[in-house]
Amino acid sequence: MPQLTIINGEVLIPERGMVRAGLAIDEGKIVAIAKESVLPEGREIIDASGLVVMPGIIDPHVHLGFGHGFEKDCRTETRSALLGGVTTIGCFIGGTCLHSQTFPELERIFNTQAFTDVFPHLCINTEEQRAEIPVYVNQFGVTSFKFFMFCIPGYMPSQSNAFILNGLRTIAKFSSYCLASIHAEEASILTEQWNNFFRSGKKTLIEWAAHNPVEAEELGVIIAASLAAMSQCRVNIVHLATAAGLARIRALKRINPFITVETITLYLTLNCLSEVAPEEARWSPAVRSSEDQEALWRGVEEGIIDTIGTDQDCVTREGLQKFIQDYGVSGSSAVTPLLLPLLLTEGYHNRGIPLEKLISKITINPAQLWGIYPQKGTIAVGSDADLVLVDLNREFEVDYRKLFSVADWSLYQGKRLKGFPVMTIKGGEVVMKEGKILPEWGKGKRIKRG
Ligand SMILES: [Zn+2]
């Protein structure tokens, strides 16, 4: 007798489509997908009538440690993620310390505090870290990295093309399962314009967009794609924000098999005319025009954009002020728990993007890209029983107080969303039901790859 069966739901299987079927789950894995009449009866039965059963959502782009320190953030933000059906996150690990020295402690934190599973991406910021890449792959089972062609001045220096190329060549030696993310904006254009912006005392998002010329991303994309081709290293261009960048990627993808691209919820849901407090959305890369926003949605529909993340780096309201003071840019509120509802509202309901296509960007595509498929990202016999049961037509209002994040504010406060995650199941266990998180402690694990 399986531990759990889910019956009467519409099951969304990536690359297969919607299937009317029941699921049987045992020992944390999916063990059968079948018509209810032939499905063995579970010890526990969930009736998913009127709901869509989707794979657990993957947010491939999350930062921790900006709210209340890394350990506490890991606990609160991965717990909060369950509210949105997110069962796995990709977490960027920054800093200039040798990861060989800090990683064992991070591993302990992930394995004791996280409510979701986690696959870390190590940022390569120094020559010493670059030299250690073999250790990260061979000893730690980390196969994804990140380079900053542009980084927030005062926070971390931007990296030269020579440094990135050298890093990509080091990574490419380990064969095709390694992947490097690149923040692809040309630094000299932005540095000059940012200086002008901060000297001018300007504030609005329109002015911020004007001081973040789209050419910086367009050129950044061309450089990142060239570095990928030269090194033959797979490169994922993260947080794409502009139509110009997208147009370059569309053309480059035809001749360059090494590049993939991510955009984030912020650029899909806002533009520089949106009615939000400017200091809550002074992001880097900047939110641009509504034309840029709509181009990104077309990129999602066409399949040019491979994955969608949140780039969440939760800060408190106080922390937000400090970010603006110290670096001139905003941190974020809790977005990971809203990733799925935001995409359902803006993509599926408001723009008519087919559900299966939309959901592939936050399930199968990131799972395949980061080497955790078919354990994650799909509904198949043998896959982890990570699932979210969604009421596509149920509306709700965003309230940060119900997201249990360290962020005591929300960029989306009061916004009505359509598409409600009713239940989250992780490893065969119901971990969230109707906005209530059930386990006391997280059972998330760091996923080893390679
Ligand atoms: Zn990021």
pLDDT band at 156 (very low <50, low <70, confident <90, very high): confident
DSSP 8-state symbol, 346? I
Residues within 5 A (CB) of ion ligand 1: 311
pLDDT of residue 227 exceeding 80: yes
Question: How far apart are alpha carbons 175 and 152 in whole angstroms?
Answer: 31
Helix/strand/coil for 258 = coil
Residue 152 CA, ligand 1 centroid: distance in Å: 11
Residue 126 CA, ligand 1 centroid: distance in Å: 18
Residue 318 CA, ligand 1 centroid: distance in Å: 20
DSSP state letters, 125-182: -SHHHHHTHHHHHHTT---EEEEESS--TTTSPPPPHHHHHHHHHHHHTT-TT-EEEE
Question: In terms of DSSP bridges, do strands 117-123 and 144-148 run parallel, antiparallel, or are they unpaired?
Answer: parallel
pLDDT of residue 392 exceeding 90: yes
Residue 241 CA, ligand 1 centroid: distance in Å: 13
Q: Compute φ and ψ for 381, nearest 5 degrees.
A: -60, 125
Residue 65 CA, ligand 1 centroid: distance in Å: 13
According to DSSP H, which parts of 232-289 are helical?
A: 243-255, 265-269
Question: In terms of DSSP bridges, do strands 307-309 and 259-264 run parallel, antiparallel, or are they unpaired?
Answer: parallel
Helix/strand/coil for 290 = helix
Question: How far apart are alpha carbons 340 and 335 in whole angstroms?
Answer: 10
Residue with tokens 């016999």: 381
Task: Collect all residues with Cβ–Cβ distance below 8 Å to 160 and sequence separation of at least 6.
Answer: none
Segment 54-104, tens digit of pLDDT: 999 999 999 999 999 999 999 999 999 999 999 999 999 999 999 999 999
Q: What is the pLDDT of residue 155?
A: 86
Q: How many CB atoms lie within 10 A of CB 138?
A: 11
pLDDT band at 335 (very low <50, low <70, confident <90, very high): very high
* Residue 121: C-alpha distances to residues 71, 199, 285 (Å): 17, 35, 19
Question: What's the whole-number mean pLDDT along residues 305-309?
Answer: 98
pLDDT band at 238 (very low <50, low <70, confident <90, very high): very high
Residue 216 identity (one-letter amino acid): A
pLDDT of residue 263 exceeding 80: yes
Mean per-residue pLDDT of the chain: 97
Segment 393-428, tens digit of pLDDT: 999 999 999 999 999 999 999 999 999 999 999 999
pLDDT of residue 174 exceeding 90: no
pLDDT band at 450 (very low <50, low <70, confident <90, very high): confident
Q: What is the pLDDT of residue 175?
A: 75
Residue 43 CA, ligand 1 centroid: distance in Å: 42
Residue 394 CA, ligand 1 centroid: distance in Å: 30
Residue 159 CA, ligand 1 centroid: distance in Å: 16
Question: How far apart are alpha carbons 108 and 112 in whole angstroms?
Answer: 6
pLDDT of residue 380 exceeding 90: yes
Residue 23 CA, ligand 1 centroid: distance in Å: 35
Residue 360 burial by CB count (10 A; 0-12/13-18/19+): exposed, middle or buried?
A: buried
Residue 311 CA, ligand 1 centroid: distance in Å: 5
More reliable by pLDDT, 177 or 245: 245
Q: What structural domains and CATH numbers belong to the chain?
A: 4-53+383-403+418-434 (2.30.40.10), 56-369 (3.20.20.140)
More reliable by pLDDT, 73 or 157: 73
Work out the angle at residue 259's Cα, subtended by the Cα atoms of residues 205 and 221, and round it to the nearest 5 degrees.
40
Residue with tokens 């709901």: 51
Task: Collect all residues with Cβ–Cβ distance below 8 Å to 263 and sequence separation of at least 6.
Answer: 239, 240, 241, 296, 299, 300, 305, 308
